Amino acid sequence: MEIIKGIHQLKIPFPKGMPGDVNVYIIEGNDGNIMIDSGWDSQESLGAFGEGLKADRLKLRDIKTIVITHIHPDHYGLASKVKQLCGAKVAMDKIEAGLISPRYKDFTELLKRVEEEAKRNGIPETELPDFRDASLWMNKFVAPEPPDVLLDDGDRFSNGSFEIQVIRTPGHSPGHICLYEPKKRLLFSGDHVLYETTPHVGFNPQSGDNPLGDYVSSLQKLTNIKVSFVLPGHGPVFNSLNLRVEGILHHHEERKRQIVRALDRGSKTAYQVAQEITWMPEEGGVAFKDLAPWDRRLAVMETIAHLKLLATEGKVASVDMDGVCLYLAKD
């Protein structure tokens, strides 16, 4: 669908059996089209992509650049296949590019570190294998080719009709980028700011030590630019960026308060804290014990991210007790 003159949004479904879709954007230009994000590497995604192009009378061969906001499978998975089909160059942030191989190719070390972190954060022995391997199924939906172009914060490029500025927004992923079109004041926000859900920000071996602190700074970075429309990686386009940023910040403040309250009743591991939080507030709230293994892992990683931010704010402290990290409220 052409949502703004020269800018098309294609809804690419998740693989069979998974709800949801990802928004792929095509920006038309005199010097070729720019594609933003790609969908999962699956037949359904590729089929929907082809149909979307056809419906909007877009040509595969006109795509000259594929810009990836971050390397999660739903955004990056299909990029290499589209490149094979049309010869476009794939571009992404240089930090993000460095994460491809350790995550999708030689991932033994990463799994080892996930397991170590899981033990340190109190995951019981019986749950360790599920926790460690929870994202392995995704690898078959990603063709992990390195990009052709490495982007940096502040880079600019043009397709003759639209000018795009790269804004590095670490948090959801360490090399996540938003793409800003200053003339039309459009912000392609990837998974940094979504309208209907709060983007996941979790601590993991690739996230850096304080991903939620990074994320909050990245949200504040966006409040300095003028934005008329936000074109996100999932869900509807919207125009109230600052209001949405406030809503997301409020959510994290509330969650931090819940965590400090949980610690009022004694020292706990991140795993124990995660069990005292109501998850998925957008869906009416789900108890930790009722989450699927993948969502449990996300919940624990989010809890650790909040605890790390609270520690930098001086509100909680942590201590190592026989290889297990215990958190305490500081006042």
Residues engaged in binding Zn ion (CB under 5 A)? 74, 191, 233
Amino acid, single-letter form, for residue 291:
L
For Zn ion, the closer of residues 37 and 181 by Cβ is 37
For Zn ion, the closer of residues 200 and 256 by Cβ is 200
For Zn ion, the closer of residues 147 and 233 by Cβ is 233
For Zn ion, the closer of residues 122 and 175 by Cβ is 175
CB of 2 to Zn ion, least distance (A): 23
CB of 265 to Zn ion, least distance (A): 35
Strand partners, 105: none
For Zn ion, the closer of residues 196 and 209 by Cβ is 196
E strands, the chain, are: 2-4, 7-13, 21-27, 33-36, 63-68, 89-93, 149-151, 156-158, 163-168, 177-181, 186-190, 229-232, 316-321, 324-329
Please tell me what DSSP assigns to residue 61: G
Cα–Cα distance for residue pair 331/328, rounded to 1 Å: 9
158 closest CA partner among 25, 9, 31: 31
For Zn ion, the closer of residues 231 and 262 by Cβ is 231
Report whether 222 contacts 203 (CB < 8 A). Answer: no
Strand partners, 320: 325
CB of 194 to Zn ion, least distance (A): 8
For Zn ion, the closer of residues 74 and 93 by Cβ is 74
Residue whose pair of structure tokens reads 């308060």 in the numeric block: 257
Pairing of strands 316-321, 324-329: antiparallel
- Strand 21-27's sheet: what is its strand order? 2-4, 7-13, 21-27, 33-36, 63-68, 89-93, 149-151
For Zn ion, the closer of residues 90 and 260 by Cβ is 90
Cα–Cα distance for residue pair 114/108, rounded to 1 Å: 10
CB of 22 to Zn ion, least distance (A): 6
CB of 173 to Zn ion, least distance (A): 10
CB of 34 to Zn ion, least distance (A): 19
CB of 14 to Zn ion, least distance (A): 10
CB of 99 to Zn ion, least distance (A): 15
Within 195-292, residue ranges assigned H as helices are 211-222, 241-264, 270-274
Residues in contact with 112: Cβ distance below 8 Å, sequence separation at least 6, in sequence order: none
